[in-house]
Amino acid sequence: MIVEDRELKIFSGQSHPEFAQKVCESLYIPLAASKIYRFSDGEIGISIEESVRGADVYVIQSTCYPANENLVELLIFLDALRRASAYQINVVIPYFGYARQDRKTRGREPITAKLVANLLEKAGADRVVSADLHAGQIQGFFDIPVDHLTAVPLLASYFQEKLKDEIEANNLVVVSPDIGGVVRARRFAEPMHTELAIVDKRRSYDIANHCDVMEIIGHVEGKVVILIDDIIDTAGTVVKAAEALFERGAKKIYAAATHAVLSGPAIERLKNSPIEEVVLTDTIPLPEEKMLDKITLLSIAPLFAEAISRIHSNDSVSILFR
């Protein structure tokens, strides 16, 4: 229930206005008015078109492609709200760009996820709400509260209904495409009481977005498998994993992920892969030209709406993590 003593206002950046509209519809409130424009030299300008003084404000902006444009727009938006005397500025980032640059893998590299956290705080953010950060430790990069939501229950619920016969026959295996995703895969598998398998891969850091699948840990022969990951970017990881599973006798292969980055050759790779269906959420806008017949898009906007409602009314958000 939304409290009445402090007004709730939701603004949208330009990265994903459809998502922001879905959140507002779930909360039965209108999207707050703002104007985003460009100067002739390409600089971004933002005008807040209604009073936000003393209000709890939420800005919804995925820092997806074009990541730099969307990030700078978000920073300017936060500065405008801070200078307009908003009581609390909450940044809702369904997809947190630069999250994969969360550590140094070799000398003289930046930790860009930490830099982005610093920029958001400096610009005026009082809280961050995001989903399925590439690395959970990114929450520690902030000195403000971070509510880290997950799409795992939403994705698992979809497959529980779709593959209930396979689950009852104990014929389903959940697969993590790498060692780092085992915790996510286990959480996905638990409500379905299924077995777990892992793809052991070797990544080449000399070539961006390139990896080589090495071995499958677990039994997949004759099984229906679900590959679960946080991001599908160029689809190299998930497609190589699917091919390795197919070679080892998997009967049917499904894939699921929270963030549909789908850059470069991703669509062509998925189209030609042995994957039957790819289930994604709408944290990133998916244009029509990328909507393959085998892609299913689920909306995570109601989960974000519930989180916003709970934060605004000072109720627990932790129940939404399960």
Cis peptide leading into 66, omega within 30 of 0? yes
Secondary structure of residue 163 in the 3-state scheme: coil
| Three-state secondary structure call for residue 264 | coil
Inter-residue contact 309 to 58 (CB < 8 Å): no
Cα 41 to Cα 29, 44, 203, 259, distances in angstroms: 36, 9, 41, 32
Catalytic residue at 294?
A: no
Place of tokens 């005397």: 85
Both tokens assigned to 41: 């030299």
Catalytic-role residue among 201, 251, 290, 294: 201
Catalytic positions, written as ranges: 201
